[in-house]
């Protein structure tokens, strides 16, 4: 059952359309990726979902409520890309302040705050936020998004500008939240992180969704899997059953046959052996999300996957 539903969402600024006709659903417990180049409409979409800006047209329903409703805010945690903190406060006092805004009872807030900071491995939590490193400040911001125990979390560039160790920690923590049943909308420029953590995703460009679905479905729609068959001959002396490989090139004294499926792999093997050669290796190649992104971000029409 969908916990977040978006129908024909649109945002205009004067004569400029930032988001045009976006529609998608997110299931409970999913990590749902939103990716695209700068200016694609990602952050505008996330801010509309969080109730920070009003759409020009269309609707969004988050956990049964319209963005901006008080009850929806109680069920949502939002981590923006830029997250200024109250630098004169300590991490604990800052989080207590936000817990009070959400009417979280003091004893519940204390337990929840320290549990989140423990899980985020944040030491020196009584230190002023202004004296913390960027990685520590980002952990405080994540803990703030969790202080109301939300059903849905929106993470916009959660690891932006962080060192690899802290980044990996935050990615693993996001996985843990998903395993616990939290629904997470996840946007990042680092497509490796998106690829490693998201169940489904949309790719946006110029305000519109140009591809959607699981990574496997999007791969299938944009090149799918290729098989690279390495052999000692090019198979040209074998039967025509070689099924016209997509590509045959010579590399280091061997021939690399690129084909689209296992039937073609078998045909290449038969052709090579008939020509007196042998297959030395078979490798499976799938396009990375970055390769897919570079392809579909330049396409003008939406591609269903």
pLDDT tens per residue, range 209-260 = 999 999 888 887 876 788 899 999 887 766 544 555 667 888 888 999 988 8
- Same domain for 80 and 161, yes or no, is yes
Q: Could you tell me if 192 and 257 lie in one domain?
A: no
Question: In this structure, are 149 and 237 located in the same domain?
Answer: no
Is 295 among the domain residues?
Answer: no
Q: What's the CATH code of the domain at 38?
A: 3.40.50.300
Whether 291 is in a domain gets the answer no
Same domain, 44 and 111: yes
Judge contact between 285 and 227, C-beta under 8 A.
Answer: yes
- Of 175, 190, 220, the last residue of a domain is 220
List, for residues 95-119, the tens digit of each pLDDT value: 999 999 999 999 999 999 999 999 9
Q: What mean pLDDT is reported for the chain?
A: 89
The residue-averaged pLDDT of 288-303 equals 70
Domain that residue 24 falls in: 2-220
Instruction: Specify if 305 maps to a domain.
Output: no
Distance in Å from the first CA to the final CA of the chain: 20
Same domain, 154 and 203: yes
Residue 296 lies in a domain: no
Residue 303 lies in a domain: no
Average pLDDT over residues 267-277: 88
Which pLDDT value is given to residue 15? 86
Distance CA(114)–CA(103), nearest Å, equals 17
Q: Of 2, 18, 94, 4, which Cα lies nearest the Cα of 51?
A: 4
Q: How far apart are CA 109 and CA 124, in angstroms?
A: 19
State mean pLDDT over 36-64: 93
Residues 166, 126 share a domain: yes
If one counts the domains in the chain, the total is 2
21/74 same-domain check: yes
Residue 304 lies in a domain: no
Interatomic CA distance for residues 200 and 305, integer angstroms: 10
The answer on 130 and 36 residing in a single domain is yes
pLDDT computed for residue 303 by the predictor: 46
Q: Do 70 and 103 share a domain, yes or no?
A: yes
What does the pLDDT read at residue 305? 46
Verify that 155 and 271 share a domain, yes or no: no
Nearest C-alpha neighbor of 87 from the set 33, 37, 141, 50 = 141
Looking at residue 191, its pLDDT comes to 87
pLDDT at residue 8 tops 60: yes
Name the percent of the chain lying above pLDDT 90: 57
């Amino acid at each position: 059952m969908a916990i977040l539903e978006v129908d024909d969402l649109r945002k205009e600024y004067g004569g400029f359309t930032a988001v045009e006709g976006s529609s998608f659903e997110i299931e409970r417990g999913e990590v749902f990726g939103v990716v695209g180049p700068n200016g694609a409409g990602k952050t505008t979409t996330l801010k509309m979902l969080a109730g920070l800006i009003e759409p020009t047209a269309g609707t969004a329903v988050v956990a049964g409520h319209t963005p901006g409703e008080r009850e929806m805010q109680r069920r949502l945690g939002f981590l923006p890309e830029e997250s200024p903190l109250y630098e004169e406060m300590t991490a604990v006092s800052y989080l207590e302040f936000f817990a009070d805004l959400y009417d979280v009872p003091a004893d519940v807030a204390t337990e929840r705050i320290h549990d989140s900071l423990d899980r985020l491995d944040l030491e020196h939590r009584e230190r002023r936020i202004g004296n913390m490193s960027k990685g520590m400040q980002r952990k405080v911001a994540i803990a703030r998004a969790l202080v109301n125990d939300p059903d849905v979390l929106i993470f916009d560039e959660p690891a932006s500008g962080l060192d690899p160790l802290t980044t990996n920690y935050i990615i693993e923590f996001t996985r843990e939240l998903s395993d616990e049943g939290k629904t997470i909308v996840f946007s990042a420029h680092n497509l490796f992180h998106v690829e490693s953590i998201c169940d489904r995703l949309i790719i946006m460009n110029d305000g519109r969704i140009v591809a959607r679905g699981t990574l496997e479905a999007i791969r299938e729609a944009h090149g799918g899997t290729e098989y690279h068959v390495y052999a000692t001959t090019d198979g040209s002396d074998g039967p025509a059953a070689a099924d016209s490989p997509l590509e045959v090139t010579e590399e280091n004294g061997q021939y690399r046959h690129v084909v689209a499926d296992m039937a073609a792999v078998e045909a290449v093997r038969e052709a090579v052996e008939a020509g007196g050669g042998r297959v030395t290796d078979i490798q499976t190649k799938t396009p990375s999300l970055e390769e897919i992104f570079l392809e579909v971000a330049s396409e003008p029409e939406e591609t269903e996957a």
